[in-house]
Chain A
Amino acid sequence: MTMQTLSLAPWLVATPLIGAALLLLVGRRSDRWGHWLGVLASTATFVIGLVILLDMLGADAEQRVGVHTAANWIDVGPLTVDLGFQVDPLSMTFVMLITFVGSLIHLYSVAYMSHDRDRRRFFAYLNLFVAAMLLLVLADSYLLLFVGWEGVGLASFLLIGFWDHHLPNAVAGKKAFIMNRVGDMGLIAAMMLMLATFGGVDFGTVLGTAGAADQGTTTAIGLLLLLAACGKSAQLPLQAWLGDAMAGPTPVSALIHAATMVTAGVYLLVRSGPLLEAAPDAQLVIAIVGALTLLFGAIVGCAKDDIKKALAASTMSQIGYMMLAAGLGPVGYAFAIFHLLTHGFFKAGLFLGAGSVMHAMDDDVNMRRFGGLARLLPVTAITMGLGWLAILGVPPFSGFYSKDKIIEAAFVGEGWRPWVFGIVALVGAGITAYYMSRLFFMTFMGRRRWATELAGGAGGGAEGDSTPVRHPHESPWLMTLPMIVLAVGSVGLGFALNAGDRFVHFLEPVTGHAEHHDPVLPIWLIITLTLTLVVVGAALAFVQYAVRSVPTTAPAAPAVVRAARVDLHQDDVNEAVVMLPGKVLTRSMVFADRTAVDAGWLGLAGGVGRLGTWLRGLQSGYVRQYAAMTLGGLGVIVLVIWLVSTMATS
């Protein structure tokens, strides 16, 4: 790449940051045009990214990795950290995903948030998010990455709690922030270990010398990085915040909690690839976490009636696939990023579709009160349908190429691993098909479970919540256009990037060339099994939610379904394992402080006080009493001297 395009890299971060600063500083005066400034900043960033990408594609594969050092950031003794920007195929993939999907969602938000009096503030936060996310992926050191990492956490917190006049939203924001903080501690500790081991935190130093380090140390760093990734990417055991994060406006859920921010954990692990190579135990744990989360999210997704929470569970599950792939080593890195990219498109599209449905249904999210919307919301139904087929992994949609590759990669290896991971990935694909079809059929097919006319007789509002009155209408073009573009991406992106393994080769300068290994099962069998499970899952959902009628309130269900409805008791587990002991600890500390420390000092002070009161009584004012005390004192002194002298002589 040429130096000129490399030096554009800081502008990728600066442009949206300037947008956010302008919108926040100018304040209410920019209410009328602020949202367009936000869109402009985001789109301009996309254009800058595109210029860099085109230049990169023109260069040879070996010259596609560059570092632009904008300034010296920290220079204290042996530690030097530059304000450096890593421009390579991996970071540019993210830049493209973030700015392209981000710009579309900015556009969508112009219409979606048009009735909100704080729309300008919303765009300021969106721009802030884009800036922080780009800093995260462009940083050339873990420390600079951490700045972006915290920045997206802040933006996520601000946007989840955007409607903070409603208490649960503010609580959800806080929950996300605190759970993320647990993961951040992992990243901080990992950086400390890196400093101690490698003497630096920039990618060049750490990843370049990781192979020579002690395996125990690299395993520790790998596990700490995994902890950080779990927090950011909502993986077990730090997954509980993602469902509540759906309290934020839907464009936020699409951009931050589906397409970009939650995938930062996968980016971190793939970026740290060479380090993880030196820590096979950590890799195994990553794959296990991914596999568990994959199943966890899928099971929860099957029972959710809230359309956004079902999608959130699906996001968790799909990121589980990416983590699983990232844990498989070089065979999986490229596929993890590939799935991340296609998932960014189809899941953002699905979320925007969900937003469109909510827009039509007076912000209702309960799918049991949807039904039969396909004819009334044709564009939404078609775009969501394409996203649905993509996430199912139906050929030739995007998800088929990316997810199927991960399933194949999961079957590669020796011993028990390929069988366990492969079968988990296969089963996950089947469950995914079931819950996504359930979502689609419940929303768009079947009979209507809402009324159209207010005075339309007993079927109207009279029955209360069971058949609410709605006036569904298709969303304005500003909302449907991004949905259409994302749907096109959901259809064609996988095929376009998979042709001739184009994307995998594009990423090779970063992820390294992976030797081709044959899975333990023949590939045609894996594909057949996957597609069979997908068809079975979708058919089950079709019979249950499109053919049979859906009750408007959740029916009684076996224990496992009831558990899935409350996220498999994740909050109860957190409360029992973390919150309750913490509470007991703090309470006992307070108790100990009051009863032991405070009581000790207060008792001492009280004792001194009482002694003083008693001594004051001796000051009677009678001279003769003083004289008596003097005499008594004299007697005591004489007695002591006599005792001491007799003891000394005896």
Chain B
Amino acid sequence: MDLVNYLYLASILFALGATTVLLRRNAIVVFMGVELMLNATNLALVTFARMHGDITGQVLAFFVMVVAAAEVVVGLAIIVTIFRARRSASVDDVNLLKS
């Protein structure tokens, strides 16, 4: 099977994740979109590692997973805290830092 198909899949997943982040207001869903983009990237990295016979891409994918796990912890904590404070999980309501 042609390895390029994995790259197409990764692109589609990335596009889906990006669309989710841009279009949805619910913070949890936006978060899921972000995770989808990260995993699409992971897929692309692993594919490139395979294509070039170079292990660097796989190592990088591991790093992304670890960082993503840590990020999920912090991100979910923030979302929950904001929800408790403002009774809303919409990202559009969090705009107090604008000029």
From residue 57 to 98 of chain B, which have CB atoms closer than 8 A to chain A?
A: 91-92, 94-98
Name the CB-closest residue of B to A616.
B99
Contact check: which of A616, A620, A624 meets B91 at CB < 8 Å? A624
B91 touches A631 (CB 8 A): no
Q: Say if the beta carbon of A649 comes within 8 Å of chain B.
A: no
Q: Say if the beta carbon of A212 comes within 8 Å of chain B.
A: no
Contacts of A627 in B (CB 8 A): 21-22
Known: A631-B18, A631-B22. A624 touches B92 (CB 8 A): yes
Q: Say if the beta carbon of A628 comes within 8 Å of chain B.
A: yes
When chains A and B are docked, how far (Å) is the Cα of A623 from the Cα of B95?
A: 8
B92 touches A628 (CB 8 A): no
Contact check: which of A619, A624, A628, A631 meets B98 at CB < 8 Å? A619
Contact check: which of A619, A623, A631 meets B99 at CB < 8 Å? A619
Contacts of A622 in B (CB 8 A): 91-92, 95
Task: Flag A623-637 by CB within 8 Å of B: 1 or 0 each.
Answer: 110011001000000
Known: A627-B21, A627-B22. A621 touches B91 (CB 8 A): no
Contacts of A624 in B (CB 8 A): 21-23, 25, 30, 91-92
Looking at the assembled complex, report how far the CB atom of A639 sits from the nearest CB atom of chain B, in whole angstroms: 15
B97 touches A621 (CB 8 A): yes
Max chain A C-beta neighbours (<10 A), residue from B25, B95, B97: B95
The total of chain B residues at the interface (CB under 8 A) is 14
Contacts of B22 in A (CB 8 A): 624, 627-628, 631
When chains A and B are docked, how far (Å) is the Cα of A620 from the Cα of B99?
A: 8
Contacts of B94 in A (CB 8 A): 623
Contact check: which of B18, B21, B23, B98 meets A620 at CB < 8 Å? B98
Contacts of A628 in B (CB 8 A): 22
When chains A and B are docked, how far (Å) is the Cα of A624 from the Cα of B29?
A: 12
The total of chain A residues at the interface (CB under 8 A) is 10
Contacts of B30 in A (CB 8 A): 623-624
Contacts of B95 in A (CB 8 A): 620-623
Looking at the assembled complex, report how far the CB atom of B75 sits from the nearest CB atom of chain A, in whole angstroms: 12
Name the CB-closest residue of A to B37.
A631
Contacts of B21 in A (CB 8 A): 624, 627
Name the CB-closest residue of A to B23.
A624
From residue 601 to 622 of chain A, which have CB atoms closer than 8 A to chain B?
A: 616, 619-622
When chains A and B are docked, how far (Å) is the Cα of A616 from the Cα of B94?
A: 18
Contacts of B98 in A (CB 8 A): 619-621
Contacts of A616 in B (CB 8 A): 99
Name the CB-closest residue of A to B34.
A627
Looking at the assembled complex, report how far the CB atom of B3 sits from the nearest CB atom of chain A, in whole angstroms: 20
When chains A and B are docked, how far (Å) is the Cα of A621 from the Cα of B97?
A: 7
Looking at the assembled complex, report how far the CB atom of A461 sits from the nearest CB atom of chain B, in whole angstroms: 83
Name the CB-closest residue of A to B91.
A623
When chains A and B are docked, how far (Å) is the Cα of A616 from the Cα of B30?
A: 26
When chains A and B are docked, how far (Å) is the Cα of A622 from the Cα of B91?
A: 7
From residue 21 to 63 of chain B, which have CB atoms closer than 8 A to chain A?
A: 21-23, 25, 30
When chains A and B are docked, how far (Å) is the Cα of A620 from the Cα of B95?
A: 8
Looking at the assembled complex, report how far the CB atom of A608 sits from the nearest CB atom of chain B, in whole angstroms: 17
Looking at the assembled complex, report how far the CB atom of A632 sits from the nearest CB atom of chain B, in whole angstroms: 10
Looking at the assembled complex, report how far the CB atom of B13 sits from the nearest CB atom of chain A, in whole angstroms: 15
Name the CB-closest residue of A to B97.
A621
When chains A and B are docked, how far (Å) is the Cα of A620 from the Cα of B22?
A: 15
When chains A and B are docked, how far (Å) is the Cα of A622 from the Cα of B25?
A: 10
Looking at the assembled complex, report how far the CB atom of A206 sits from the nearest CB atom of chain B, in whole angstroms: 74
When chains A and B are docked, how far (Å) is the Cα of A430 from the Cα of B30?
A: 113
Name the CB-closest residue of A to B24.
A624
When chains A and B are docked, how far (Å) is the Cα of A619 from the Cα of B97?
A: 9
Looking at the assembled complex, report how far the CB atom of B79 sits from the nearest CB atom of chain A, in whole angstroms: 12
When chains A and B are docked, how far (Å) is the Cα of A616 from the Cα of B99?
A: 8
Name the CB-closest residue of A to B27.
A623
Contacts of B97 in A (CB 8 A): 621
When chains A and B are docked, how far (Å) is the Cα of A628 from the Cα of B23?
A: 10
When chains A and B are docked, how far (Å) is the Cα of A451 from the Cα of B91?
A: 106
Looking at the assembled complex, report how far the CB atom of A637 sits from the nearest CB atom of chain B, in whole angstroms: 15
Name the CB-closest residue of B to A617.
B99
Looking at the assembled complex, report how far the CB atom of B80 sits from the nearest CB atom of chain A, in whole angstroms: 17
When chains A and B are docked, how far (Å) is the Cα of A628 from the Cα of B19?
A: 9
When chains A and B are docked, how far (Å) is the Cα of A308 from the Cα of B18?
A: 99
When chains A and B are docked, how far (Å) is the Cα of A99 from the Cα of B95?
A: 92
When chains A and B are docked, how far (Å) is the Cα of A628 from the Cα of B22?
A: 6
Looking at the assembled complex, report how far the CB atom of B12 sits from the nearest CB atom of chain A, in whole angstroms: 16
From residue 282 to 306 of chain A, which have CB atoms closer than 8 A to chain B?
A: none
When chains A and B are docked, how far (Å) is the Cα of A624 from the Cα of B34?
A: 12
When chains A and B are docked, how far (Å) is the Cα of A631 from the Cα of B33?
A: 14
When chains A and B are docked, how far (Å) is the Cα of A624 from the Cα of B31?
A: 12
Looking at the assembled complex, report how far the CB atom of A630 sits from the nearest CB atom of chain B, in whole angstroms: 10
Contacts of A620 in B (CB 8 A): 95, 98
Looking at the assembled complex, report how far the CB atom of A615 sits from the nearest CB atom of chain B, in whole angstroms: 10
When chains A and B are docked, how far (Å) is the Cα of A631 from the Cα of B92?
A: 18
Contacts of B18 in A (CB 8 A): 631
When chains A and B are docked, how far (Å) is the Cα of A505 from the Cα of B61?
A: 116
Looking at the assembled complex, report how far the CB atom of A207 sits from the nearest CB atom of chain B, in whole angstroms: 79
When chains A and B are docked, how far (Å) is the Cα of A623 from the Cα of B30?
A: 10
When chains A and B are docked, how far (Å) is the Cα of A631 from the Cα of B97?
A: 21
Looking at the assembled complex, report how far the CB atom of A579 sits from the nearest CB atom of chain B, in whole angstroms: 56
When chains A and B are docked, how far (Å) is the Cα of A628 from the Cα of B97?
A: 18
When chains A and B are docked, how far (Å) is the Cα of A619 from the Cα of B22?
A: 16
Contacts of B23 in A (CB 8 A): 624
When chains A and B are docked, how far (Å) is the Cα of A624 from the Cα of B93?
A: 11
When chains A and B are docked, how far (Å) is the Cα of A623 from the Cα of B91?
A: 7
Looking at the assembled complex, report how far the CB atom of B39 sits from the nearest CB atom of chain A, in whole angstroms: 17
Max chain B C-beta neighbours (<10 A), residue from A616, A619, A620, A621: A621
Contacts of A623 in B (CB 8 A): 30, 91-92, 94-95
Name the CB-closest residue of A to B21.
A627
When chains A and B are docked, how far (Å) is the Cα of A621 from the Cα of B95?
A: 4
When chains A and B are docked, how far (Å) is the Cα of A479 from the Cα of B98?
A: 90
Looking at the assembled complex, report how far the CB atom of B38 sits from the nearest CB atom of chain A, in whole angstroms: 14
Other than A619-B99, A622-B92, A624-B21, give 12 A-B pairs with Cβ distance below 8 A: A619-B98, A620-B95, A621-B95, A621-B96, A621-B98, A622-B91, A622-B95, A623-B94, A624-B23, A624-B92, A627-B21, A631-B18
User: Can you list 15 A-B pairs, Cβ within 8 angstroms, ordered by A?
Assistant: A619-B99, A620-B95, A621-B96, A621-B98, A622-B91, A623-B30, A623-B91, A623-B94, A624-B22, A624-B23, A624-B25, A624-B91, A628-B22, A631-B18, A631-B22
In the A-B complex, the 3 residue pairs with the closest CB atoms: A621-B98, A621-B95, A623-B91
